A and B are shown apart, each in its own frame.
Chain A
Amino acid sequence: MIEFRGVTKKYPNGTVALKNINLKVMKGEFAFIIGSSGSGKSTLIKLILKEEDATEGEIHVNGYSVSTMGRKQVPYLRRSLGVVFQDFRLLPNKTVYENVAFGMQITEALPREIRRQVPMVLGLVGLSKKANVYPSQLSGGEQQRVALARALINKPALLVADEPTGNLDPETSWEIMKLLTEINHRGTTVLVATHEKTIVDAMKKRVIALDRGVMVRDEQKGIYEDESKDGQVHY
């Protein structure tokens, strides 16, 4: 599903964001990418979405060879993924319905298919009654649920979320995590970049920890912090 082989990302200003990352996320998994600010979480997500290019190494996502693909292929890769951002990135001039429908419109879906699918996904995230309101009229949690609905509308095999709870209060954050878990139970692979200790510790899912661009830990049913034998705290 996702494979990083010896991936390094160096920015033009000399900053090394990721160093020799080797990583495999299999179909149906739920994994957290954790680490403090500047650890390389967002860069990793950007490489998956081909927002940035790797300096070295190979990346494979959903059957696409991301490191070698041409520019024209990029939209196809992105459409095969569901993406959720910390700042929701909803289109402010479109209603909830239109925001979700947009994900299907770009895939040349037939209008009748869109009319059938959108209410279904809105129902899944509990926003059926808010279909005709604009994002500015929704709370943060509701906006993130719209973003989730948009990410799910094309039934992606892989959902990538970059700090999905970063702008939400704890209670709403849990609602979103519950939704992500439910989505994962339906067969979608979920990869979440976060630094929410409480959530990571409570969910007991796979944890991939980054520290200053280096992968320091990859544990099944991991927790946020790891006190190793030397007494130091590792992410």
Chain B
Amino acid sequence: MGIVEAILLSVITAATPLVLAAAGELVAERSGVLNLGVEGMMIMGAVCAFAATQLSGSPYIGVLAGIAAGALFSLLFGFLTLTLVANQVATGLALTLLGLGVSGMLGESFLGMQGIKLQPIAIPLLSQVPFVGPLLFRQDAIFYLSIAIVAGIHWFLFRTRSGLKLRAVGDSHGSAHALGVDVIRTRYLAVLFGGACAGLAGAQLSLVYTPQWVENMSAGRGWIALALVVFASWRPWRVVAGGYLFGAVSISQLHAQAFGIGIPSQFLSSLPYVATIVVLILISHNRRMTLINTPASLGKPFVPDR
């Protein structure tokens, strides 16, 4: 296996949880809900996926448990912000703190246990293609899902009537409501989807990336996913580009260090963030395009009776 191939393999593993969590958050934000609880939902997904895998012996049960945990946890956010109309920013932050705490408690009896890794599935024929085969077609189920989810989101948002309604809710909930779209229901579903994706991202952490459970193992990846949504200017495929760019820079800097090129490691460690900022600047020079994509009702509460 060549060095380029090895680097790319590491990049895919590092980028997948970011892409998944960001894709889910993108849908929630497109419906006008800003959920800062991604980190909390992700870590809940990670702990539940790990626990369910240990108890059942099957990582696939674990994946389902991770998705369910993320979705259930996001339901709490939905209830507080959509039904009780609590402040979205404050509730999201609380969700993150709560998730980190609760996951630590739930996971206490699973600390130090040996994880069961979600094994790769080789796709017949395609996995035999040189270079591309081992990279893209000999991966675990969560990677395939991540690409399918992004493609699905793109299709849903821009090619279906329901997707159009969801975007309408995010852009102007008042108008959507006047047209007869159930704003609260749409947002609940979007938040649930976001939670499920974050939970799946968490499952990737504790079943594929590092098959183990330790407290706080998401280590800030939920926040990076949130930044990626803005980075992608709310376009699904750009989330993939952003996630992989971030992953590529993070992995290359480790290789650069191991290679001994003599650039200070603190600088190299900051490169992924520097790259993000540079791209953001490049994107934002076209202000009109940015405004078109930004959900205009993002973060604003909606009370139907008003």
Question: Is B a genuine binding partner of A?
Answer: no
Question: Which chain B residues have a beta carbon within 8 Å of chain A's beta carbons?
Answer: none
Question: Which chain A residues have a beta carbon within 8 Å of chain B's beta carbons?
Answer: none
